[in-house]
Amino acid sequence: MGYADLRELQTALTTASDIASSLQAAPTRRDADQLVDVLRQALTAASSLSTLTGPTGCAIHPHGAVDPLYGDPEDPLPPGYGKCLLCNDRRRRADARPHQPYHWDRQEHSLRRSA
């Protein structure tokens, strides 16, 4: 647990409280989504306070690099992305190119016997 992790949690909870306090009687979908995003950030920050996980909160790369786009309101990460830069990079690469199944032509690749 570091000071930065605790500060991130406090900031996320304060932001969530501000958003919740400013909600009208009938909040819009955008307001609700914004509140959910901030609460998810708070949950991620709270889970990283444990001494068992590192700053990324990632089970695979607990002490890896934190994605610089994490928490950026102008360029948010897609749903399902976390703080781990290594995992997010893997997801970005997978999303960048569509999956194309390998096609193997048996006739073209068969062994040719010499007579």
72-79: long-range pairs with CB below 8 Å, 24+: 76/37
Whether the per-residue pLDDT at 23 is higher than 70: the answer is: yes
Average pLDDT, the chain: 81
pLDDT band for position 31 (cuts 50, 70, 90): confident
- Whether the CB-CB separation of 27 and 66 falls below 8 Å is answered with no
What pTM, to 2 d.p., does this model score?
0.43
46-99 confidence digits (pLDDT tens): 877 765 567 888 888 888 899 999 988 888 888 889 999 999 999 988 877 766
Which is nearest to 85 in space by CA: 70, 97, 71?
A: 70
Q: Is the pLDDT of residue 114 over 80?
A: no
Could you tell me if 76 and 37 are in contact, meaning their C-beta atoms sit under 8 angstroms apart?
Answer: yes
Cα angle vertex 87, ends 81, 92, to 5°? 70
pLDDT tens figures, 66-80? 999 998 888 888 888
